[in-house]
Amino acid sequence: MPKMNKVVMFYFFFSFFIATGSLLCSASGDVRKVYIVYMGSLSSQPEYSPTSHHLSMLQEALDDSGFDQDSVLIASYKRSFNGFAANLTNTEAQKLASMEGVVSVFPSRTLHLQTTRSWDFMGLDESAATQTPPGAASDVIIGVLDSGIWPESESFRDEGFGPPPKKWKGICSGGVGFKCNNKIIGARGYKSSGPNVRDTKGHGTHTASTAAGNRVKDISFYGLAKGTARGGLPSARVAAYKVCNHGCESSDVLLGFDDAIADGVDIITISLGGQGATNLVSDEIAIGSFHAMEKGILTVHSAGNTGPFSGTVTSVAPWLLSVAASSTDRQIIDKVVLGNGKTIIGSSVNTFTFNGRKFPLIRGADASTVCSEDSARMCEADCLNSTLVKGKIVLCERTGGVSASRDNGAVGTILLSRTPDNIPFIRSAPATSLTPNDYNLVQSYTAYTKNPTAEILSSDVIKDSAAPAVASFSSRGPNTVMPDIMKPDISAPGVDILAAFSPVAAPTSDPKDNRRVKYSISSGTSMACPHVAGAAAYIKAFHPDWSPSVIKSALMTTAWPMNASKNPDGEFAYGAGHMNPKKAIHPGLVYDAYREDYIKLLCSAGYGEQEISKLTRDNNISCPSGSEKKSRTTDFNYPSMTVKVEPRTAFQVGFHRTVTNVGPSGSTYKAKIMSNPRLRVKVEPRVLSFDSSNKKKSFRVTIAGRGLRDKTMVTASLVWSDGIHSVRSPIIAYA
């Protein structure tokens, strides 16, 4: 073997390294992906053309890459705010970020519908829903940003509806075979979601009918949860913006906002989101809803389904109404009867029946000849031996066991629940889910009995006296982006909700689920969100001139207090509490906030003047600084008072607030504090007298406490009461 000089060898390695390195570098630089270039509010100059501006910026950024600007432009936002989406390299994106007028450049991402696909139905009682002022109620338009809609559903028939309200500027562009009517007055589809707005997922139909569906009698899911299905405001109109198909591209989500705002909707409901909370200037939903707020449109948004872990809420912008999901008193259960006669109450939405027959039981751990015991207990794919499980009921420790057992010839599955609330989900084959105690009991019975057998019954409905409790999947606060703004804001039904569905979609995500239904049950903050959107529309029907923040305040301050002993995360699980729409029509006092207040809040939260100026296209923004008294985020006029404090450090914090009397003149409100021994709360003044309607009064709340242990919270509440109205705000200090 020829001797090789060490120096030469080193050189070889070195040059190899360099070559590979630069190759990788330029390769990754060349990869194009979709970026959103956000440019804030639209210029009001009449000669300004957003699209030509976007194209000239692109031309400059593309330089001599060989691509032309038309081929990389994905979307132009030009109706309600300014910006575009384009297929760019990292270098081009950076170039654009430094151009004048650009607020932020961030990669488009795929957001997801926040359903867990399985749920019940609740809202206003029927008489209340029909007592809305005539005319006004059918003028309310709800924009639904979702997976489209099934236009022929009974929930969207237009009998009794007149032509669309005059303010409506939208179009019906639903694609081939899609017809709007006087109930569904608008439809738009987008690039990645496809031009046909017809819903093939079921999610968009479900959320739209929860917010605004007609009253439809005798609806059930295979006889379960039977009753009348209806939305929060059945007389409202619906405009469907199909921004999701398999996922929801954020470049399309922004187009949905751009259109919905310009089309003239009153309320936007959006049940989708990302995996983590982000800075507000690169958060598509925060950006879209900011411009909606500027135009007087409230955006209602699902909190997320990544609970029960702390700080998981992804709906964080202060102008959003962010909704947690809770249970209703209608609980769906599913019993198992063992061969020894013992009945165990499990949880699932199970439409299948064994007709009184019992089948042999086998544990997943005993049903595999190829896998480790751990994998076999989970009934992981390819573990179950079909000779062993055929015709039996299999015990599996994970949800995927349902299809794995069915695919191997089993007749049913008994699952181990991994969440304390054991939410009943729809299963694609006979199955129930048991608490760890009950599961162990069935395991022991199976292991120590000769010929163990069981029957899985089809589901029943019982009354749940513990409701409402926040679902384990519902994302929790605190707000990781704006720590002094409470999130979620409110809780609404989000477990086992029955609503209209797409008749071409299966009620579960199992591709072998051949069931097709017009009404289905789903669970998720996705389902809670349109309940609140429906309630907001209901309030809008009574008070067409109320601003988004006033409607939000009305809903939050009249919410039912929820029980922290059942919801260990307290306000970080349920916000102000469980929504109570009937009361929210007459809240007495409201905490309002407008564009300028949000801008001040952004200043105090540390967003730069330039960033804010661009967001708002207001060159005049100057955040108070230095000698001027800097406002604090705790002084922002939110309907709750939240502060993040240093752990193990005594604290004293003030909250400045202003309330507006929307009740009768001549009312006098007294402050009541529901306190906590660990928090001293002072309100000044303690009495507010209003000699007329629409008068404003300010007050100050000061809280003080000894140091809090890290990751703990202490809460109280303030209630302003005039003997008729109770205006309640949670007070939260956390470390």
Ligand X SMILES: *[C@@H]1O[C@H](CO)[C@@H](O)[C@H](O)[C@H]1NC(C)=O
Active site residues: 146, 203, 526
Choose between 565 and 627: whose C-beta lies nearer to ligand X. 565
Is 388 a binder of ligand X (CB under 6 A)? yes
- In angstroms, the Cα distances linking 513 to 508, 510, 525 are 7, 5, 24
Cα distance between residue 635 and residue 623, in whole Å: 15
Q: Work out the end-to-end distance of the chain between its first and last CA atoms, rounded to an integer number of angstroms.
A: 69
Is 620 a binder of ligand X (CB under 6 A)? yes
Is 719 a binder of ligand X (CB under 6 A)? no
Contacts of 618 (CB under 8 A, 6+ apart): 41, 599
Stretch that binds ligand X, among 380-388, 451-459, 475-483, 530-538 (CB under 6 A): 380-388
Q: DSSP readout, 287-318? A: HHHHHHHHTT-EEEEE--S-TTSTT------T
- Contact pick of 56, 59, 369, 698 for ligand X (by CB under 6 A): 369
Could you tell me if residue 324 is left (phi over 0), alpha (psi between -120 and 50 degrees) or otherwise beta?
beta
Count of residues engaged in binding ligand X, rule: CB under 6 A:
12
* Residue 456 burial class via C-beta count within 10 angstroms: exposed 0-12, middle 13-18, buried 19 and up: buried
Stretch that binds ligand X, among 165-173, 325-333, 562-570, 689-697 (CB under 6 A): 562-570
Choose between 269 and 567: whose C-beta lies nearer to ligand X. 567
User: Minimal distance in Å, beta carbon 647 to ligand X?
Assistant: 28
Choose between 24 and 466: whose C-beta lies nearer to ligand X. 466
- Contact pick of 15, 56, 91, 563 for ligand X (by CB under 6 A): 563
Choose between 566 and 695: whose C-beta lies nearer to ligand X. 566
Is 674 a binder of ligand X (CB under 6 A)? no
Is 370 a binder of ligand X (CB under 6 A)? yes
User: Minimal distance in Å, beta carbon 577 to ligand X?
Assistant: 11
Cα distance between residue 557 and residue 635, in whole Å: 18
Number of helices (H) and strands (E) in the chain: give both, helices first.
Answer: 18, 36
- Contact pick of 387, 665, 689, 698 for ligand X (by CB under 6 A): 387
Is 73 a binder of ligand X (CB under 6 A)? no
- Token couple for 703: 């809280």
The type of residue at 504 is V
Choose between 399 and 715: whose C-beta lies nearer to ligand X. 715
In 3D space, the residue among 88, 100, 27 whose CA is nearest the CA of residue 58 turns out to be: 88
Residues 29-58 that bind ligand X (CB under 6 A): 32, 34
Stretch that binds ligand X, among 294-302, 327-335, 475-483, 563-571 (CB under 6 A): 563-571
The 10 Å Cβ neighbour count of residue 704 is 14
Residues 243-282 that bind ligand X (CB under 6 A): none
User: Minimal distance in Å, beta carbon 86 to ligand X?
Assistant: 9
The type of residue at 181 is N
User: Minimal distance in Å, beta carbon 28 to ligand X?
Assistant: 13
- Contact pick of 215, 398, 515, 566 for ligand X (by CB under 6 A): 566
Burial string for 216-241 (b: 16+ CB within 10 Å, else e) reads: beebebbebbeeebbbbbbbbbbbbb
Residues 517-536 that bind ligand X (CB under 6 A): none
Is 25 a binder of ligand X (CB under 6 A)? no
Choose between 56 and 386: whose C-beta lies nearer to ligand X. 386
Is 87 a binder of ligand X (CB under 6 A)? yes
**Could you give the dihedral angle defined by the CA atoms of residues 295, 296, 297 and 301, in that order, rounded to the nearest 10 degrees?**
110
Could you list the residues that contact ligand X (CB under 6 A)?
32, 34, 87, 369-370, 385, 387-388, 563, 565-566, 620
